[in-house]
Chain A
């Protein structure tokens, strides 16, 4: 089996996280990112994942994971248990977005959010020019089979953070291969942001 190219979003997240950090990944999938953080950053990690087959993959990798749904929040984790809570490519699939973000900010000092940018030019063309629901590299599913139930853009997210008085510490627009600096809301396929509660 050909080795998959390393995921740019994982690379960016791994760069953000300081060595030895305590990290919780919400919707950790098969644990690829967490393993990377253990290897590269000597991080202490835990994950939550809803899919049983993915839990088995995580255990193979020696990761501690909780089989469950993040939509019900993170009960019983004390405040500020983690340096980072990661919500990568899972936010667009949760029902209770506000609850999940609040809970992530409660148990973590900083939250790293990653999501597909619905305002990417490819998606814009598809919708505006061809009148079709976008299918792009970061939104690869047809309307009838997509696990995504939220469609948001980089600008939607920055606006949301402003409304909720959340501080954006870092914001990255990701292209297919590199970080996009020019008009990221148009050219980025994915977004990675580091947020925290505003100090009052």
Chain B
């Protein structure tokens, strides 16, 4: 049942959703010797750079901060137009003046994860000890490690309580992890299209992706910096990923059995449009993503587990609310996994709202402009006590 729209009230200028405009990515450096960040794997990491962006103004009481968590291949550039390359942010339709996350009201922060390759410290960063990229010497980081690193940024920004932590997919995992690690620092959590832990099917897809990367001779045990990159392997991994992000209905609508040349070529080149689409997605991805980061981040998701009592630790003050959103056609993170979050809330008497949006876009739905998601987030945020 579609709504009329995201309450696009009037056409008056002051009410029309707008862009946050031109934005820049900033850097926060911390964990310098001897204050390295202790990681779950037992090793330490430092110094650490976090690439982040902010939109809107922090109010005087510092109570209007919204932390946006990006998904697996996302970055800190969530909204606006990037100063350097003119790219629009990955959640530009959600964040901006009068949008669902209204930058006239909220101070919005988005930071790239450690282990990634979008400005934060990861396997492609220079190891200060060797002067060369870390490659596989980079320690395995977990979702809790990513959140611990982010906490230092939030502390640095002088924020003691976040109005909300919101994100989809891996972003949702980080949002949940915030609740598990720092419940006293969040007023609400909005996990979208996500899960309390990776299930075997999700681990299985990730493992196929990793095997595709590592099977590429160019991967070379992770040492490919400054030479040919494992583009073939990474592209295949991304193609598999894209299949899992779409519903069969979305694929049927988008491609059906249409062919590029309207006839079969009787060769193993891409006949069908869906083949061409996956190929181009794979090729684009290798230009902007590091193969080792692919391995590290998928592993972090596979290790993720805040199931059972881990999400809402006993004996802690749990004065927060949840808005949990799932999508009906999402088979990668099916809605029953979102409902598990609600069950934990019920057991611990934590207030929670759950909505399964009737979208046909599969797992990707949270990245696609959709009035239902915008409507829920806007009104949920608007009703929170600041």
Residues of A within 8 A of B (CB): 46, 51-53, 55-56, 58-60, 62-68, 75-78, 81
Contact = CB atoms under 8 A, between A and B. Distances in A.
Contact of A52 (B346, B353, B355, B379): B355
Contact of A62 (B347, B376, B383): B383
A83 B203 CA distance: 43
Nearest to A77: B346
Given A56-B376, A59-B380, A76-B347, A67 B1 contact: no
B192 to A, nearest CB: 14
A59 B347 contact: no
Contacts of B347: 76, 78
Contact of A53 (B1, B342, B349): B1
B355 A55 contact: yes
B353 A66 contact: yes
Interface of B: 1, 3, 321, 323, 339, 342-343, 346-347, 349, 351-358, 372, 375-376, 379-380, 383
A170 to B, nearest CB: 27
A interface majority secondary structure: mixed
B343 A75 contact: yes
A76 B343 contact: yes
A53 B375 contact: no
A67 B339 CA distance: 10
A25 to B, nearest CB: 13
Closest 3 CB pairs of A and B: A62-B383, A76-B343, A53-B1
Contacts of B383: 59, 62
A55 B379 CA distance: 12
A67 B376 contact: no
B343 A56 contact: no
Contact of B355 (A59, A62, A77): A59
Given A56-B375, A76-B346, 7 more contacts: A55-B353, A59-B383, A62-B383, A64-B321, A64-B352, A65-B355, A67-B356
A132 B282 CA distance: 65
Contact of B358 (A52, A60, A81): A52
12 contacts: A46-B351, A51-B1, A52-B358, A53-B3, A56-B355, A59-B323, A62-B383, A64-B321, A66-B353, A66-B354, A76-B342, A76-B343
